[in-house]
Amino acid sequence: MMTSDHVARSPAHAGSGLSERYTVEIYQTRAEMGRAVAMDVANRMRAVAADKGSVRMIFAAAPSQSEVLEALTALPNVPWDRVTAFHMDDYLGLEAEAPQRFGNWLQEHLFSKIPAATVHRIAATGTADEICQGYAGLLGEAPIDIVCLGIGVNGHIAFNDPPVADFDDPLSVRVVELDEVCRQQQVDDDCFDRLEAVPQQAITLTIPTLMGAGALFCTVPGARKKAAVKAALEGPITTDCPASILRTHPNCTIYLDREAAPMADTTLTADALCDAYLDDVTALMQRIHTEEKEPLDRAARLLADQIAEDRLVHVFGPGGHSNLATQEVFFRAGGLMHVNAILDEGTLLSNGALRSMAIERTPGYGRVVIDNQGLGEGDILILVNAYGINAALIDAALIARERGVRTIGISSRQHAEGTAADHPARHPTKQNLHDLVDVAIDSKVQIGDAIVDIPGMTERIAAVSTYANATALNLLVIRTVLHIRERGIEPPVWRSGNAPGGDEANRKFLGNFRGRVRAL
């Protein structure tokens, strides 16, 4: 889970002359880190596949990637059948079947577990020049969309060690000499039993090849990597630490566990924690706007159709704080008057927090709520719940689908897919909201919701789901209003009753909604 040490940085490094736009996320454990990377990579794969129809990916082969690949291959609905896969380096001089060969390692940990459309492995036979030219040709057939990589103890990316790294390398694949630090890492990672057994040459994708990809996901666990991470993130951008160039990529996320993070040693002040929290919230809101444009617009067109026909839009947030999302768009300054908030008393915190939680976990309850509203064919229902799994929510989605109600879901895909099937909050069918609705909008809330980690504390503090839900809903309102106005219709919008002329402005429309909107 993301901690308070997650930072989004944009200032240029002093004297580098290069813009820095990378993001760092720090997790307590390697397992948490691996799950988070896998979720982000899977979401990127889905988005690229939906946009382009195919995904071209490069994978690193190293123990540092184990948790990522294990989590990634376990996720549902990953478009592996559209993936063309490459790997970024391999040794020269090893037998084709040697377990240390990176192609063989990836075959065991990844390729054998997925139905990839195509897998291109670096050839184990032929001259070095033939292998490089052949692989370069395959890489050059189309742009690379995603790279999953790590950082070496010496700061290398792929096998671009400091003595041979070239930020402007004219080749896409080349033969390199491995430095001793790199070779010793292979022994320390238990890939070889002694230094003399590690090959001295390898084939590697060059730095421009890696940096040319659409998105980089860099995973770096372990205390042995801390010095390299510090140099990569805080030192000058130089081939003395090849990974420092990652800071200039427009879409690079670096994932660290606590042991690898140099900033984890820093005493955190209240101001630093608050700054990090606000950075994270802002970054989350921006991600929803940037990455969810397509589903937001599809949903907005549905709402515009509905309101143009003077029909209501129903909103239900089953859950203690999900009810806040329902209230965010109901009788709200700047909000649509056609919103009918389903403010079910059973799940409101005002009637008891533990009671609310028990009711949202009760199978069948959501069906009763939707049935009581009398929704049917031609209606639209927005379901909002950050976690996307609880019984009342899933039942509401199921009965809506049975009755021909069009549904829009706002929930976190990562949270839903990362929550165990036997979690007590889950519906008996173990389904997730985003798989049941007509339009799914991903709120991108991390598992557990709270994101600020205080050193020495077990539990994290400061949740983000209320911001995420409100952001998605208000972006939806904006798009809906614009689509309605494109039809020459001025949509009725609430004015604050506390603003001058508010009561008078609202009174003009009340007659149309009294009796139709139950909570009005």
Q: What digits encode the pLDDT tens for the residues 131-187?
A: 999 999 999 999 999 999 999 999 999 999 999 999 999 999 999 999 998 989 888
The tokens of 335 are what? 């909000």
Helical H segments across 314-443, by residue range: 322-328, 353-360, 365-373, 391-402, 413-417
Q: What pLDDT was estimated at residue 4? A: 31
Name the pLDDT band for 18 (thresholds 50, 70, 90).
low
Q: The pTM is what?
A: 0.67
| Range 196-204 average pLDDT | 92
Measured between alpha carbons, how far is 36 from 256 in angstroms, rounded to an integer? 11
Look at residue 363 and tell me whether its pLDDT is greater than 60.
Answer: yes
Q: Which residues contact 55 (CB under 8 A, 6 or more apart)?
A: 45, 48, 49, 79, 82, 83, 84, 145, 146
Q: What pLDDT was estimated at residue 268? A: 65
Name the pLDDT band for 7 (thresholds 50, 70, 90).
very low
Look at residue 5 and tell me whether its pLDDT is greater than 70.
Answer: no
The average confidence (pLDDT) of the chain is 90
Fill in the amino acid letter for 449. D
Measured between alpha carbons, how far is 145 from 73 in angstroms, rounded to an integer? 18
Fill in the amino acid letter for 92. L
Q: Which residues contact 141 (CB under 8 A, 6 or more apart)?
A: none
Look at residue 28 and tell me whether its pLDDT is greater than 90.
Answer: no
| Range 93-105 average pLDDT | 90
Q: What pLDDT was estimated at residue 423? A: 92
CA dihedral 486, 490, 491, 496 (to 10 degrees): 130
In this structure, are residues 86 and 59 in contact, taking their beta carbons and an 8 Å threshold?
Answer: yes
Q: What pLDDT was estimated at residue 230? A: 93
CA distances from 158 to 30, 167, 260 (A): 21, 13, 18
Q: What digits encode the pLDDT tens for the residues 267-313?
A: 567 887 888 889 889 989 999 999 999 999 999 999 999 999 999 99
Measured between alpha carbons, how far is 18 from 13 in angstroms, rounded to an integer? 7
Beta bridge partners, 313, equal 339
